[in-house]
Structure 1
């Protein structure tokens, strides 16, 4: 369907649709309190009340677009600088030489390469909840995939898709599980054994599905062009620095409380050093960075535009009403049914709230007392959140990272959805079975 809207049109349409909803869905809100010591704002359970607030004007809706972009400045800076860094490294020839060596090693072992790459990106999702960072890597990943005969869907699935899987089934995702456990009042990193077992099962099913799909949908291999048969010493140094930078960034995120700005500074430094080592010179390195920015600017803007959707719903005072309508009826159902439907409700809620960390902060204070009332353990309540909300990042069109990646790859959202809904549903089924099992064994 050639006329299907592109990522930009879809996001703008979603913003306008969110505005229409503010006139349809009853306005209301929960009471919120802010902890003075930590600065964290929490929702007060059972405090929802309908309210009559001001409706946004058309101009105010348009204002959410630049405000949404500005509010995600830290992520946009990361995407631009990370994208520029990879572009510089590519211009030095180090990436093409490294890919050529890697392709030779993996020649005839495409199944093994799918497994290894999926495992690496799953580990990144498990440990640091990687997602936006994949955007800048996508051009390189596409080259790698084509050199092994993978189509674009396979490449996205094994990289971005695997980070979503890892983030969703992780026992330690700092932006998902840790925040949800903190809000639920359970010990941080508790219950990890059960989560690891489910993660292992989900990963094996994920990779088997990917390998079967790739076997049926292989494309002709595209040779990686490289000016040198042997990898130069400078290229080896640059690629080593790239690996070290990822290790430093992961350590910073896990141990030093780093954010997007620290990550951006690390990759900017890597890009400058790589350009000089690759003999691009000062001007050549600067020009390569500028060209890298040009490649990433559309993807970066999509991230900011997606943020505007949540702004419209919050300022239109219907986010809390949607939460109340989705989760309120669960108190009248059995524990097993409620646990599974809680996961489904989280998946639905992820459409208007594409930030899964924000979704945890909003919903956990409401769902924890409800879980206690129904007879679901708080750990199981967290499971329902992490499986439902985070796995939704595979398909929700309001997720800026997904739409940015699709824009880079030139894939319309409708075609991606036709591909992605099956593995997403399979993972949600695994999540549902694990929730039913958790309720049965009294997981706590």
Structure 2
């Protein structure tokens, strides 16, 4: 795995490969029309025609790199400010103190503690797409797990695994479903009731699996240290403000037509207030924010670079040709099978593109017109993306957060695969069933 290309190299290579494709794939386009009532642009079925256009020069391809990043400025700002906010909160000690408090309250109640922590991290994944933030919390989580008699696999799955579950099946993950819905041209947070039902079923399956696994693999309990830091008043206030911010952001998205800018401002204010309450001081809060930016900048740039791939395909006039080529095989299978195959394709594609936000930006311009042509709703197209791409974070070796957590936990990657494939397969099967239901019910 040490010689495996990193995400930056992979995306740049994909940009170059996309450029080569513009000389290989015939140029063409579909006719499009815009619904005056909804403002949604759709393709006209059977309107594809090959065309002759200008091929991109090497310099024009290089221009798509800064253009792709600049075009995703709102999303990049959200990622940086949200990441900075959580880094500040972690620096105050509020997250660690909250977890230590949980250890004391739930000590001796293994199943209840497993449920509580799993629910907490599932909610974090569903609301903000938490993954990388778990890395800094792993030392505390390992201590918590040992005090409850959990083996290391149970500890990683109830924390990191639960964030993946929440992110994949979330109705409101800003880095997943909201970006995909924006790219698909559907209302933000629309179709949430169906997603919530599937989320509940996924969480139930997840909990049953973890409880059953933990019952068979209990380890000797380690006595927790009596010197654990008590939760301070400032930490209680910070964690309360964190919960309130989630409520405010969700209300803004649902009722006030908020977008990424408003979300970014909310978490920026939360980070500043948390730093001051946590006695980091003005300079300390600023330095913590800067450190948080450093942690998130790579993920932010990857999103922009992934957008550059789409730009090359668009400016090279071959995106519609790719859609036309994909439509040929799918027209011979049912709509429900097509939806499931989309999900499987997203799982495979997530190996070279570990940023699921970047994957949404790259694939939605291709798969949304395709779904229009084969009779799958755009909401179902988004489901196929989120259930496939984000669930793949359970095992893809190009996911930096997963690999870092395995390193901290001392779990070899091959051993993780042996453990992870069964519950991951269960979640993908549930996703496939949800897609079939959405096709038959006309989910929009």
Shorter-chain TM band: 0.7 to 0.9
Deviation at 1:287, TM superposition (A): 2.1
Deviation at 1:148, TM superposition (A): 3.1
8 Å Cα contact 2:234-2:277 kept in structure 1: yes
The change in CA–CA distance for 1:25 and 1:386 in structure 2 (over 3 A counts) is same
User: Are 2:167 and 1:163 equivalent residues in the alignment?
Assistant: yes
**Whole-angstrom distance in 2 between the partners of 1:166 and 1:289:** 27
- Which residue matches 2:4? 4
- Which residue matches 1:391? 387
Deviation at 1:441, TM superposition (A): 8.8
**Whole-angstrom distance in 2 between the partners of 1:270 and 1:438:** 37
**Whole-angstrom distance in 2 between the partners of 1:330 and 1:91:** 51
Could you tell me the TM-score, scaled by structure 2's length? 0.75
- Which residue matches 2:285? 285
Deviation at 1:107, TM superposition (A): 4.0
State the secondary structure of the residue aligned to 1:332.
coil
8 Å Cα contact 1:330-1:342 kept in structure 2: no
Aligned residues: 417
- Which residue matches 1:260? 260
**Whole-angstrom distance in 2 between the partners of 1:404 and 1:20:** 28
Higher mean alpha-carbon deviation, 295-304 vs 417-426, is at 417-426
**Superposition pairs of residues 312-331 of structure 1, within 5 angstroms:** 312-331=312-331
The change in CA–CA distance for 1:357 and 1:330 in structure 2 (over 3 A counts) is same
The change in CA–CA distance for 1:121 and 1:59 in structure 2 (over 3 A counts) is farther
- Which residue matches 1:95? 95
8 Å Cα contact 1:96-1:225 kept in structure 2: no
Structure 2 unaligned spans of 5+: 146-151, 408-412
- Which residue matches 2:206? 206
**Whole-angstrom distance in 2 between the partners of 1:291 and 1:282:** 14
- Which residue matches 2:149? none
8 Å Cα contact 1:146-1:221 kept in structure 2: no
**Whole-angstrom distance in 1 between the partners of 2:425 and 2:131:** 24
8 Å Cα contact 1:33-1:41 kept in structure 2: yes
**Whole-angstrom distance in 2 between the partners of 1:265 and 1:388:** 31
State the secondary structure of the residue aligned to 1:257.
coil
Deviation at 1:245, TM superposition (A): 1.2
8 Å Cα contact 2:346-2:389 kept in structure 1: no
- Which residue matches 2:59? 59
**Superposition pairs of residues 187-336 of structure 1, within 5 angstroms:** 189=191, 198-209=198-209, 229-333=229-333, 335=334
**Whole-angstrom distance in 2 between the partners of 1:218 and 1:73:** 47
**Whole-angstrom distance in 2 between the partners of 1:196 and 1:392:** 17
CA RMSD of aligned residues (A): 4.4
Higher mean alpha-carbon deviation, 306-315 vs 345-354, is at 345-354
State the secondary structure of the residue aligned to 2:42.
strand
8 Å Cα contact 1:394-1:424 kept in structure 2: no
8 Å Cα contact 1:179-1:360 kept in structure 2: yes
**Whole-angstrom distance in 2 between the partners of 1:147 and 1:95:** 14
Deviating above 6 A after TM superposition, structure 1's stretches of 4 or more consecutive aligned residues are 177-181, 212-228, 414-421, 437-444
